[in-house]
Amino acid sequence: AQSVTQLGSHVSVSEGALVLLRCNYSSSVPPYLFWYVQYPNQGLQLLLKYTSAATLVKGINGFEAEFKKSETSFHLTKPSAHMSDAAEYFCAVSDGYSTLTFGKGTMLLVSP
């Protein structure tokens, strides 16, 4: 069975500061990993995905994530936060099929 743990239900940063959202996964097979963002009253939008091609994955809006097998982690980072980054972020894992297992989500708060 697969699972995802996101550390911190809320993360607060100042505008311009580094964003770090943590995700650890558990999977019995080589995982496919995803980060999604959700704005209020909206669906999920894919930020980036890891499919074993490269351990450092770049996504949209300046986000990137690094796959570390030894740590079973896939943390999301952005060098400089923007007010528009305030949203809820979800890490997800799949076994290569379409079913996703999501973490509980991390709400990112950005203050001016």
Q: What share of the chain is helix, strand, coil (3-state, %, to 5)?
A: 5, 55, 40
Residue 51 is a binding residue for another protein (CB under 8 A): yes
Q: Give phi and psi for 72, each to the nearest 5.
A: 45, 50
**Least gap, CB of 69 to another protein (angstroms):** 18
Residue 28 is a binding residue for another protein (CB under 8 A): no
Residue 79 is a binding residue for another protein (CB under 8 A): no
CA distances from 38 to 3, 57, 104 (A): 20, 20, 12
**Nearest-angstrom CA–CA distance, 30 and 52:** 8
**Least gap, CB of 14 to another protein (angstroms):** 27
**Nearest-angstrom CA–CA distance, 98 and 14:** 36
Look up residue 9 and give its amino acid.
Answer: S
The residue from 85, 90, 93, 108 that contacts another protein (CB under 8 A) is: 90
Per CB under 8 A, which region of 21-29, 42-50, 63-71, 76-84 contacts another protein?
Answer: 42-50
Which of residues 70 and 98 has its CB atom nearest to another protein in the complex? 98
Q: Which two tokens stand for residue 43?
A: 């669906």
Which of residues 14 and 99 has its CB atom nearest to another protein in the complex? 99
**Least gap, CB of 66 to another protein (angstroms):** 19
